[in-house]
Amino acid sequence: MTALHWPPAEPGWVSVIVPCRNEARYIDTFCTSALAQQLPAGWQLELLVADGQSDDGTRERLQSLAAADARLRWVDNPGRIVSCGLNAALQQSRGEVIVRMDVHTEYAPDYIAQCLAVLAETGADNVGGPWHAVPEPGAGPMQQAVAAAFQSRWVAGGARSRDLGFDGWVDTVYLGCWPRRVLAQHGGFDESLVRNQDDEHNLRLTRAGARVWQSSRIRSTYRPRARLAQVFRQYQQYGYWKPFVMRKHGQAAALRQLVPGLFVAALGLALLAWPLAGSGLLLGLLTLYAAAVAAMTGAVAASSDLDRAAVARVPAVIAAYHLGYGLGSLQGWWAVLRGRGPRDRFARLTR
């Protein structure tokens, strides 16, 4: 990659980089949406989709779509995981600006145009919008509950990325858009990480003095998991990979990242102590957590238009978020403290 100055003297190319694997159900809709982006005058778009050895027909659909539109190129990703796919697409891209997209997200028609505008206005090194979870049309009550709980800052521990109206400097941002020079200077994505590669990349940028801006004008909608088991496994992976990021950078954990693991550890200790100390400690912890989940459920219900069936599922979704992340983080810390590498089963994607 060649480092280029920002802003460029005149409009040029925008490269959209996308990892995917086994997305036959979604790939056509995504490519059509991405290629329909409304760019400012003079800018040209290329879409590079890195396929991670799909075996469900995704690759064949990409080949067909690329034959019909020269702006689309598919890239082989033998590493299969997201970070490898992003780097493979990045290596073949030519844009002065790089936009990272995800197949399971839908984008406003001016998504890229707003990214370009916000980059120019703020001088940021990376920009993005809030993480907005929306259930699929006709979704059942479980996916509705998953989306509503996801959007709650109470459930997410106050993460700015869930605040749809926030504009300002942040530590990390959903997806991202960079001047090429930033990636040339700071490198691509860590291919040892199956999850948290975006957070690690932003951490690397901010520790080097780069700045990240979240803008409410950069609008997209994310389609979350539809089954509770999927949510649990997804957040177990998020929790598992976080300690590896912290070990790499010598970073102290934020309180919201520690609480789920500490709670799961406390539950485990209380269960082990039951034969000697009785059930009081365990019941006390469960009662306190049940009260917290009830309060969060009330907040979620008050800020959304969920029906009763969906609201009834919110407590289980919240518990899946917290307990999945907590159990995963304990498993991750156990591996890190023993000087072990990641376990193979946590390298498998969960969707």
65/208 same-domain check = yes
User: Are both 189 and 283 inside the same structural domain?
Assistant: no
pLDDT in tens, 166-177: 999 998 899 999
Q: Which two tokens stand for residue 197?
A: 């590669």
Domain end (from 174, 193, 223): 223
Determine, yes or no, domain membership for 154.
Answer: no
Coil, helix or strand for 220?
strand
User: Has residue 330 got a pLDDT over 80?
Assistant: yes
Side chain identity at residue 52, one-letter code: G
Cα distance between residue 243 and residue 261, in whole Å: 11
What is the domain range of residue 66?
A: 13-130+165-223
Q: Is residue 211 part of a domain?
A: yes
> Is pLDDT above 50 for 4?
no
Q: Which of these three, 186, 205, 223, is where a domain ends?
A: 223
Contact 202, 144 (CB under 8 A): no
2 contacts: CB under 8 Å, gap ≥ 6: 180, 184
Q: With contact defined as beta carbons under 8 Å apart, do 102 and 6 qualify?
A: no
**Measured distance CA(311)–CA(242) in Å, rounded:** 30
123 & 268 share domain: no
CA distance 90 to 69: 20
Q: Which of 127, 110, 101 is nearest to 219 (CA)?
A: 110
**Distance set, CA 151 to CA 141, 145, 157, 245, 350 (Å):** 16, 10, 11, 24, 20
Total number of domains constituting the chain? 2
Exposed/middle/buried for residue 274 (C-beta within 10 Å: 0-12, 13-18, 19+): middle
Over residues 42-55, the mean pLDDT reads: 94
Same domain, 201 and 312: no
d(CA 88, CA 17): 9
Looking at the structure, tell me whether residues 201 and 293 fall in a common domain. no
Residue 182 in any domain: the answer is: yes
Confidence check: pLDDT of 8 > 70: no
Of the candidate ranges 102-106, 245-249, 321-325, the one whose mean pLDDT is the lowest: 245-249
Mean pLDDT score across all residues of the chain: 88
In a domain, 159, yes or no: no
Decide which of 201, 223, 245 is a domain's last residue.
Answer: 223
CB atoms within 10 A of CB 17: 28
Predicted pLDDT at 267: 87
Three-state helix/strand/coil letters over 114-181: HHHHHHHHHCCCEEECCCCECCCCCCCHHHHHHHHHHHCCCCCCCCHHHCCCCCEEECCCCCCEEEHH
Q: Say if residue 315 is in the same domain as residue 173.
A: no
Same domain, 205 and 282: no
What is the structure's pLDDT at 7?
60
What whole-number distance in Å separates Cα of residue 289 and Cα of residue 280? 14
Tens-place pLDDT, residues 279-306: 888 898 899 999 999 999 999 999 888 9
Whether residues 311 and 179 fall in one domain: no
- Tell whether 37 and 96 lie within a shared domain: yes
Residue 92's CATH number: 3.90.550.10
Whether the pLDDT of residue 113 is over 60: the answer is yes
Q: Which of the residue ranges 5-9, 28-32, 38-42, 181-185 would you say has the lowest mean pLDDT?
A: 5-9
Mean pLDDT of all residues in 90-119: 95
122 and 28 within one domain: yes
Tell whether 238 and 184 lie within a shared domain. Answer: no
pLDDT tops 60 at residue 350: no
Residue 33 pLDDT greater than 70, yes or no? yes
Q: Do 120 and 241 fall within a single domain?
A: no
Domain presence at residue 25: yes
